[in-house]
Amino acid sequence: MASVLNPYISFTDNAREAMEYYQGVFGGELTLNTFGEFGADDAPFADKIMHGMLKTDSGYTLMAADTPPGMEHNPGTNVTISLSGSDGDDLRGYWEKLSDGGTVSVPLEKQMWGDEFGACVDRFGIPWMVNITQS
């Protein structure tokens, strides 16, 4: 298997909700494993997500987990997830769903370099960039 690079997002306690939301945006197969499934079944955080993975039909992989008690959670402002390509219909659909309920900093529109580009922060505080390559 070739090496892959994918985002892994840490949440405080809503990884399940976020990953189900992202599955609604991108489709694909979602696997969620709780801390309880991995031996912490009597812990107060047993139902929280220890590891979640969304594999989409488009080839994207997104991973996430809830941060267990005792570990520091630092929402990152230095990480942005970028979606780019030439399939405008798919990318515009992702944009609509990701920006819904979030904050748009750059509207998805034609930019000086000729592509359509937009930037937003979704309702979970995750920054996204969408670039639609023009032919």
pLDDT tens digit at each of 135 positions of the chain: 556 678 989 898 999 999 999 999 999 999 999 988 988 778 788 899 989 999 999 999 999 999 888 888 777 666 789 898 999 999 999 999 999 999 999 999 999 889 999 999 999 999 899 999 987
Please tell me what DSSP assigns to residue 79: -
DSSP state of 36: G
The residues spanned by each domain of the chain are 8-66, 81-132
Neighbours of 94 (CB within 10 A): 20
19 by Cβ neighbours in 10 Å (0-12 / 13-18 / 19+) ranks as buried
What is the gyration radius of the CA atoms in the chain, in angstroms? 16
Paired with 117 in beta bridges are 109, 131
- Tally: H helices and E strands in the chain: 2, 8
The angle subtended at Cα 32 by Cα 19 and Cα 36, nearest 5°, is: 130
Sign of CA dihedral 94, 99, 102, 108: positive
Which CATH code of 3.40.1130.10, 3.30.720.110, 3.20.20.70, 3.40.50.1000 fits the domain covering 81-132? 3.30.720.110
How many residues comprise the chain? 135
The CATH superfamily holding the domain 8-66 is 2,3-Dihydroxybiphenyl 1,2-Dioxygenase, domain 1 (3.10.180.10)
Give the pLDDT of residue 5: 74
What tokens does 95 get?
């944009």
Query: What's the whole-model pTM score?
Result: 0.80
